[in-house]
Amino acid sequence: MEFKETIKKYQEIVNNELKKYIITKDCPERLLNESMAYSLMAGGKRLRPILTIQTYLLFKKDYEKCFPYIVAIEMIHNFSLIHDDLPGIDNDDFRHGKPTNHKKFNEATAILAGDGLLNKAYMIISQDLAKTKDPRELDLKIRAFGELARAIDRLIAGEHVDTEYEGKEISSEYLEYIHKNKTGEFLKASMLIGAILADANEEQIKNLSKYADIVGLTFQIRDDILSEIGNPNILGKPVGNDKEKGKCTYVTKYGLEKAQIILEELTNEAIDLAQKYNNGEFFKEFAIYIKNREK
pLDDT value of position 246: 66
pLDDT value of position 185: 95
pLDDT value of position 243: 66
Quote the CATH superfamily of domain 3-292. Farnesyl Diphosphate Synthase (1.10.600.10)
Give the contacts of 119 (CB within 8 A, at least 6 positions apart).
none
Q: Are 24 and 33 in contact (CB under 8 A)?
A: yes
pLDDT value of position 279: 78
Domain definitions of the chain by residue range = 3-292
pLDDT value of position 49: 98
pLDDT value of position 80: 97
The pTM of this model reads 0.94
Residues with pLDDT less than 70, the chain: 240-246
Q: Quote the longest CA-to-CA distance of the chain.
A: 54
pLDDT value of position 245: 67
Give the contacts of 32 (CB within 8 A, at least 6 positions apart).
109, 112, 113, 116
